[in-house]
Chains A and B, each alone.
Chain A
Amino acid sequence: MEENLRWLWYAFGSAWIIHIAYVHWIASRTKELRVQIESLRTLLKEQERKANP
């Protein structure tokens, strides 16, 4: 019984680790891209200003 309980915890533990790792990856990548988009938009505005003074 206790031996089998170990497998139950392994299964549920690994399932949650996989899900949490994936959601965390999405969140950190989104944060990264938000910063990147902001700086690209600033750069684009500057270039547009230079092109059409």
Chain B
Amino acid sequence: MPKSTAQTSDKLTPVLGVTAAAMLVAALYMIFLWVPNESTMGVVQRIFYFHVPSAATSWVAFFVGGVAAVRYLVSRDPRLDDLSVACNETGLVFCIVNLVTGAFWAKPIWGIWWAWDARGTSAMLLAVIYIGYLILRQSVDEPSQRAVVCAVVSICGMVDIPIIYMANRWWRTQHPAPVIGGGGLDANMGMVLGFATLALLTLLWYIVRQRRKLAEMQRETEGLRQMIHALAG
């Protein structure tokens, strides 16, 4: 009998967990105590250092999940489906954090919780696509069929990412014009934004590894059940 997924040793994940925790503490210090207040919005602008990195981190997760889905369709290796679901589910969590922090920022600045502008709407559409992806995973029983259908949805979901990124360039939106890369961001603010993004990417890596292990264990459970069924039958 092969070694169980639950028994395999993993040295990198705990190291990643500690690194992510340390980086997040440092990022929180920089956000709350080090970086200066933005002159127009004041203290509430600090949500920016979590709102934008959460969006960027979710895009990275969905992109990796989509690439894993493409590779699954080519190779039919179930481990790639495990990676894809781990990335997509974790990406959805970061996407929800992005939407929630956005609403808490919009309320005091715009006076409304939600503006149906192109960027916000396309970001919400991204969350809806991946909620659909997770519902689909629950509703298809046959593992290989489920993996194929979900891989297709995952690849389709990726298409929305460049639309979100370009939304405030293509259309007039409630969201401000791009500040990153356009010289509109103070050097210290840029540094905090960069560091917070790095911290969240490390957290993403840690969570994806944990979630992938869970997916492997779910697959192992399904396999064991099938073997028991076959022997009993």
A contact set with B: CB distance below 8 Å: 1, 3-5, 7-8, 10-12, 14-15, 18-19, 22-23, 26-27, 29-30, 33-34, 36-38, 40-41, 43-45, 47-48, 51
Contacts and interface: CB of A to CB of B under 8 A. Distances in A.
A37 B46 contact: no
B228 interface: yes
A37 B231 contact: no
16 contacts: A3-B108, A4-B42, A4-B44, A7-B108, A8-B104, A11-B51, A11-B100, A14-B101, A18-B100, A19-B97, A22-B207, A26-B210, A27-B210, A30-B210, A30-B217, A34-B6
A23 to B, nearest CB: 6
B72 interface: no
B163 interface: no
Interface string B215-233: 0011011001101100110
B6 A33 contact: yes
A7 to B, nearest CB: 5
A34 B210 CA distance: 13
A22 B204 CA distance: 12
Given A11-B50, A19-B97, A44 B108 contact: no
A27 B13 CA distance: 13
Contacts of A15: 50, 54, 97, 100-101
**In the A-B complex, the 8 residue pairs with the closest CB atoms:** A11-B104, A40-B224, A4-B44, A33-B217, A47-B231, A11-B101, A34-B6, A11-B47
Nearest to A3: B108
A24 B220 CA distance: 21
B16 to A, nearest CB: 12
Interface in B185-233: 203, 207, 210-211, 213-214, 217-218, 220-221, 224-225, 227-228, 231-232
Contacts of A19: 93, 97, 203
Given A8-B104, A22-B207, A41-B1, 19 more contacts: A4-B44, A4-B108, A5-B44, A11-B104, A14-B100, A15-B54, A18-B100, A26-B210, A30-B6, A33-B214, A33-B218, A34-B6, A34-B217, A37-B4, A37-B217, A37-B224, A40-B224, A44-B227, A51-B231
A40 to B, nearest CB: 4
Interface string B35-50: 0000001111011001
Interface string B88-120: 001001001100110011011000000000000
